[in-house]
Amino acid sequence: MPNAKVLEQKQKVVADLKSKIDASIVGVVVDYKGITVADDTALRKELRENNVDYFVVKNTLLSRAVEGTELEGMKSVLEGSTAIALSSEDYAAGARILSKYADKSETFKIKAGFLDGALVDLDTINAIAKLPSREVLLATVVGAFQAPIAAFARAVQAIVDKNGEAAE
């Protein structure tokens, strides 16, 4: 039985982990086995640049953090080496980066994930990973809004040009 101080520290870690998960809109749990130090450093850097919080977590602590929540179903995959990527801003960044790495690796695998507080299957995580970045989506929307305006401007310009030719 751990002493009171160790137990208190573990309870604090579980509470912190639970609050991080609650504050996240998306999370991806991975088995990071077989990743080299260089690859891990590059992966962490890319995740950090995309505002994704990525860290290694003990299975028992993560299991306690999701206990009694809708994410309790992920307990079945919590074995071996486990890391979690959490994002409170971008739905696709963490899934996209980790899926890209998992596709290249034989041993690095995605175990589970959640979206808006609900557990999702691996197909959903892969679908999220294929979404374009937020900037690309915004550019697409802006382009869609600009297209009718640009067409109208060209039509008006054509009328002006045509009327200018008739006056001569």
The Cα–Cα gap between 32 and 162 comes to 66
Is pTM beyond 0.75? Reply is no
List the structure tokens of 54: 């990525």
DSSP 53: E
Q: CA end-to-end span of the chain, whole Å?
A: 99
Quote the Cα angle for 30-33-34, to 5°. 130
Distances (CA, A) of 65 to 17, 92, 117: 6, 23, 13
Own/partner pairs, 69-76, CB within 8 angstroms, 24+ separation: 69/117, 70/114, 70/117, 70/118, 70/119, 71/21, 71/114, 71/117, 71/118, 71/119, 73/119, 74/29, 74/111, 74/112, 74/114, 74/119
Q: Report how far residue 43's alpha carbon sits from residue 167's, in angstroms, rounded to the nearest whole number.
A: 66
At residue 166, the pLDDT reads: 52
Scanning 77-121, the segments in alpha helix (DSSP H) are: 93-104
Q: What is the residue-level pLDDT of the chain in tens, covering all 168 positions?
A: 568 888 888 888 888 988 888 888 888 999 988 888 998 999 999 999 988 999 999 988 888 888 888 888 888 888 888 999 998 888 888 888 888 888 888 888 988 889 888 888 888 888 888 877 667 777 877 777 777 777 778 888 888 888 766 545
Count of alpha carbons within 13 angstroms of residue 19, beta-carbon side:
5
